Amino acid sequence: MPKSQPLIELREVTKSYDSPEGRTTPLKEVSAVIPPESVIALMGPSGTGKSTLFRLLNRLEDPDHGSITYKGKPLSEWDPILLRREVHYVFQSAVLFPKTVADNLNYPLKLQGKSMSEEEMARLLERVGLSKSYLTRSIEKLSGGEKQRVHLARSLSLNPHVLLLDEPTASLDPESTERIEQEMRCYREKGHTVLWITHQPEQARRIADQVWHLESGHLRQEEMKR
C-alpha cells in the first residue's frame, strides 16, 4: 500500500477493565497512525496499556469505545484468523510445544496444509541467530532465550505484514539482542512494520522510527531522527 496512507489507524480508542481494586482504564481516547514500513517502540511503566494495545491490534479484545482500522478496513470486519496471520503477536513468554524445534517451526504452515524443507527451517533459525543443529533439539532442553528466538523464528515463517513484539530480547545476551535488532531492521526494509515493546530507552533509539510513550492511559509520540 502507498506509504502516504496509514497502515493502522486508532481513533479515540478507550479500553477499561474491572478489578478488585476498582475500574482501570489503560487506554483513554488514544488516537494514532502507524505508517507502513516502520518500526515503532512502545515504552512506559508496567501496567500502562502496552500489552492491552497489542491485544486490541491482534483482535484478542475489542475497544470499549473508538475504532481501529487496518489497511483502511475496521478490525471488526476482518476475519480474526486472517487478521492474525497479517498482524502477528509474538508474546513475551514463548508459546511452544514440547516437541522438537523443527516440529514447532512447521506447525503454523501445517495448519494451512503447507510445509517447509529442512533448509528453509535452517534459514529461519539463522535469522534469529541459531544454527541448523537446533532443528532436532527438544524444546524442553532449550534456555529461555533460545525458546524466545525459536518463537520469533516460527512467527517469521508466516511472513506477517505486521509483527507485534512484546519484549523479544528480554532474555537475550547483548550479541543475540543485536542480531534480533538487525533482523527487524531488515524486516522493515522488506516492506513490513514492527511494533516493539521495550523498557530500554537505548534500544528504542537504536531500532525505532517513532517511540510511543504510554502512561496513565495517554499516548505521547516521539519521532526519532535518522
Q: For the chain, how many structural domains are there in total? A: 1
Residue 4 pLDDT more than 90? no
| Of the candidate ranges 71-75, 114-118, 183-187, 205-209, the one whose mean pLDDT is the lowest | 114-118
20-52 pLDDT, tens per residue?
A: 878 889 999 999 999 999 999 999 988 778 999
Q: Is 2 a domain residue? A: no
Domain-embedded: residue 1? no
In this prediction, residues 205-226 reach a mean pLDDT of 88
Alpha carbons 180 and 160: distance in angstroms, whole number: 16
Integer angstrom CA distances of residue 193 from 8, 74, 118, 122, 208: 10, 18, 27, 24, 11
Band of pLDDT at residue 201, cut at 50, 70 and 90: very high
Identify the pLDDT of residue 50. Answer: 93
Residue numbers of the domain that contains 49 = 8-223
- Per-residue pLDDT for 1 more than 60? no
The predicted model scores a pTM of 0.91
Could you tell me the CATH number of the domain that includes residue 146? 3.40.50.300
3 state SS of 170: coil
Q: Is residue 213 part of a domain?
A: yes
Residues 67-97 pLDDT 10s: 999 999 999 999 999 999 999 999 988 889 8
3 is a domain residue: no
Helix axes 101-110, 118-127, angle to 10 degrees: 110
